[in-house]
């Protein structure tokens, strides 16, 4: 799934909790990709420019990616690592553990939306992972369906917030 959609899915469940909480969940939803591919893009601004100009398209070829992208991808896309951090947060700061679900959702969404030929999701890393040969998220029909589902989810979230405001309930506070 593309990084923006990951962020939007991560944030939608927290939309009614106010902008600060929503933006934190949005960033946590995008973080697994930002901390792996994002680092690569930061160090290759020319690549982004060429892409925006339409001179290149698609993901960067595997041969052009430095080793740290693969290491970071394993770390950020492992449900094992995610669960360890979730358990730690649940023990010390429960409200952050709820937000951490946005990161976990990113990994779960990636498992069926990456083909095995390009960054299949290493969800059991550091243990051997039976990779899923999923559908590729760049397929136009998938992108359209995904954003339609997102639009529906946000309409529901907006209606939920509106209903809370109409009742006078304090729905836009922090996470408790």
Interface with Zn ion (CB under 5 A): 32-33, 110
Of the pair 14, 110, the CB lying nearest Zn ion is at: 110
Rg, the chain, Cα only: 18
| Paired tokens of 4 | 């923006």
DSSP conformational letter for 102: H
Q: How far is the CB of 101 from Zn ion (least distance, A)?
A: 15
Of the pair 33, 69, the CB lying nearest Zn ion is at: 33
Q: How far is the CB of 95 from Zn ion (least distance, A)?
A: 24
Q: How far is the CB of 132 from Zn ion (least distance, A)?
A: 13
Asked whether 44 and 147 are in contact (CB, 8 A), the reply is: no
Residue 69 CB coordination number (10 Å): 19
Of the pair 99, 107, the CB lying nearest Zn ion is at: 107
Asked whether 109 and 1 are in contact (CB, 8 A), the reply is: yes
Of the pair 17, 113, the CB lying nearest Zn ion is at: 113
Packing angle of the helix pair 94-110, 3-12 (nearest 10 deg): 140
Q: How far is the CB of 149 from Zn ion (least distance, A)?
A: 18
């Amino acid at each position: 799934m593309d990084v923006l959609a990951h962020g939007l899915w991560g944030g939608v469940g927290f939309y009614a909790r106010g902008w600060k909480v929503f933006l934190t969940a949005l960033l946590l939803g995008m973080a697994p990709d930002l901390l792996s591919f994002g680092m690569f893009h930061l160090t290759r601004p020319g690549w982004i420019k060429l892409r925006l100009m339409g001179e290149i398209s698609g993901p960067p070829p595997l041969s052009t990616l430095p080793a740290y992208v693969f290491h970071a991808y394993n770390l950020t896309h492992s449900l094992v690592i995610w669960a360890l951090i979730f358990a730690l947060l649940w023990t010390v700061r429960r409200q952050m553990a709820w937000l951490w679900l946005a990161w976990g959702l990113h990994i779960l969404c990636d498992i069926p939306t990456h083909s095995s030929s390009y960054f299949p999701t290493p969800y059991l890393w550091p243990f051997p992972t039976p990779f899923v040969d999923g559908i590729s998220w760049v397929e136009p029909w998938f992108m359209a369906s995904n954003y339609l589902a997102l639009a529906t989810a946000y309409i529901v979230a907006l209606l939920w917030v509106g209903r809370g405001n109409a009742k006078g309930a304090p729905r836009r506070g922090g996470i408790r």
